[in-house]
Amino acid sequence: MSEELIGDGDRPLVAVLDYGSGNVHSAVKALEAAGADVRLTNDRGLVLEADGLLVPGVGAFRAVMEQLTAIRGGELIDRRLAGGRPVMGICVGMQVLFERGIERGVDTEGLGEWPGVVAELDAPVVPHMGWNTVEAPESSVLFRGIRDERFYFVHSYAAQEWTLGVQPPFPEPAVTWAAHGGRFIAAVENGPLSATQFHPEKSGEAGIRLLANWVGSLRR
């Protein structure tokens, strides 16, 4: 293994996918505070071999998909998941994991890791901006010790149904919900693939603890 692929001591090596999305530096700092050795990169070898891959995302579903497609990001995510290597998406980085996104009448194909459509929130006021509680299942690893905390959301769109069915021996995904007007999916933990609709890096101590729970799960 090359030197750039070796984590710093006991800290898991996390690659933050650099594909043109904004807000990446706050995510890098939050992951470092959570105990990771972090590299902001689009180097294919590093992205594939790191202990964890974080996919950030802000802005429009279509724009994020175009940026990911330009660096063959979907292929990188697929290859990691096929090998059981952890991936985590944040905000639009979560949304693009679903089959489709519909924003302002524009229907865009997503990465299709999960079935479902990302659509506008059913709420009297959008965007949903600010702190909100979540409903996390007991099986959640991400929310261990922080189920009663609030997290910071900034979004007008979300997945509002969970339709993925699994058969034994595969465990049921841990799906976390929140409400703004109607209910929407706030986080998913599905084998090596996790994601949050909110921004852990903007969620203060609770967000750092959530990222620390994920980073802790990466230790070999």
**Which residues are marked as active site?**
91, 199, 201
Q: Are 103 and 60 in contact (CB under 8 A)?
A: yes
3: its two tokens:
């030197």
Instruction: Tell me the one-letter amino acid at 166.
Output: V
Q: Say how far apart CA 101 and CA 98 lie, in whole Å.
A: 8
Q: Where are the beta strands (DSSP E) in the chain?
A: 13-17, 37-41, 52-55, 87-90, 98-103, 106-109, 114-120, 128-133, 150-155, 157-159, 174-180, 182-190, 193-196
Q: What is the DSSP string of 153-179?
A: EEESEEE--------TTSPPPEEEEEE
DSSP string, 52-64: EEEE---S-HHHH
Helix, strand, or coil here: 147? coil
Residue 102, CA atoms < 13 Å, CB-side half-sphere? 8
Task: Encode 95-115: b = buried (16+ Cβ within 10 Å), e = exposed.
Answer: bbbbbbbebeeeebebbebbe
Q: Any bridge partners for residue 7, and if so which? A: none
